[in-house]
Amino acid sequence: MNDPCPQEFIALANRLADAAGDLARRYFRTPIEVRFKAAKSPVTEADQAVETRLREIIGEAYPDHGVIGEEQAAVNAGAEFVWVIDPIDGTRLFISGVPLFTCLIALTRGGRPLLGVIDQPVIGDRWIGARGQATTFNGRAVNTRACESLEDAVLCTSNPAYFEGPDIAAFERLRDAAGWTQYSADSYGVGLIANGSMDLAAESELGIYDFCAWGPVIEGAGGVVSDWRGAALSLQTGDKILVSGDARTHDQAMAVLAG
């Protein structure tokens, strides 16, 4: 289960990201109908169109693989290889015309992330992380940066309003302990941690499709991704995720989140 990711899967992930980007750009900054799902989560025809196309491509290439996506029912989720896709992560950014939304593509084997892609199709930025090789950003290898102390760390999160209940106090402790905080980063901010531009990301109320791709991208760049208790990512991971470029700040951040 620790074998390197086969190149054929990486090639398919790139093809999926290309297809997702083509569709997302077609809908971006155009009049588009917005519906709201549970918990006031927005969805558009662009989300649906992208996910449908990615499922078609995966089914044609590997009909025995499973697929878990945000907008449609899971298919063959108990398979050895399962693709996890978020067609447009940061739908509010997409609707608002902000080019920081991403398409997230992950592949798991035995429930553990094997491959991850974070793609921003308007800017043209793509991070690819795969087990057994260094993470790349637009084709070149990247690394997280050293950050020994939490007080020197740049923390990012999508929106502080997304934290609920006791998670609010936990995030506020982390925000106060960090050097400073960047908001509205979403998954694009996680990519920037891989590049060494920021140091930490903390999120809650996530689905597996929101973060599965983060693991290979960050770990392949030298960082750490876990839930708020320090457990490694899997298809059974809960909704609270911590991303760190440096294992030392990861440990400090977990202690702060735990109170």
Looking at 106, 141, 176, the residue that finishes a domain is: 141
20 and 91 belong to one structural domain: yes
CATH number at residue 167: 3.40.190.80
The parts of the chain modelled with pLDDT lower than 70 are: 1, 39
Residue 120: its pLDDT value, please? Answer: 98
- Number of structural domains, the chain? 2
Write out the residue range of the structural domain in which residue 42 sits.
7-141
CATH number at residue 25: 3.30.540.10
* Residue 123, in any domain of the structure: yes
* Residue 187, in any domain of the structure: yes
Can you read off the two tokens belonging to residue 259? 């109170």
The SS3 call for residue 115 is: strand
Q: Measure the CA–CA gap between 93 and 100, rounded to whole angstroms.
A: 7
Q: List the one residue out of 50, 39, 40 whose CA is nearest residue 101.
A: 50
97 and 68 belong to one structural domain: yes
Can you read off the two tokens belonging to residue 6? 């086969």
Say if CB 86 and CB 70 are below 8 A apart: yes
Residue 38: its pLDDT value, please? Answer: 72
Q: Measure the CA–CA gap between 142 and 197, rounded to whole angstroms.
A: 11
Residue 2: its pLDDT value, please? Answer: 79
91 and 173 belong to one structural domain: no
12 and 136 belong to one structural domain: yes
% the chain with pLDDT above 70: 99
Residue 1: its pLDDT value, please? Answer: 66
Looking at 101, 123, 141, the residue that finishes a domain is: 141
**Using one digit for the tens of pLDDT, what is the confidence trace for 19-72?**
999 999 999 999 998 999 876 789 999 999 999 999 999 999 999 999 999 999
What is the bridge-based pairing of β-strands 136-137 and 154-156? unpaired
Q: How far is CA 212 from CA 12, 73, 113, 115, in A?
A: 17, 17, 7, 9
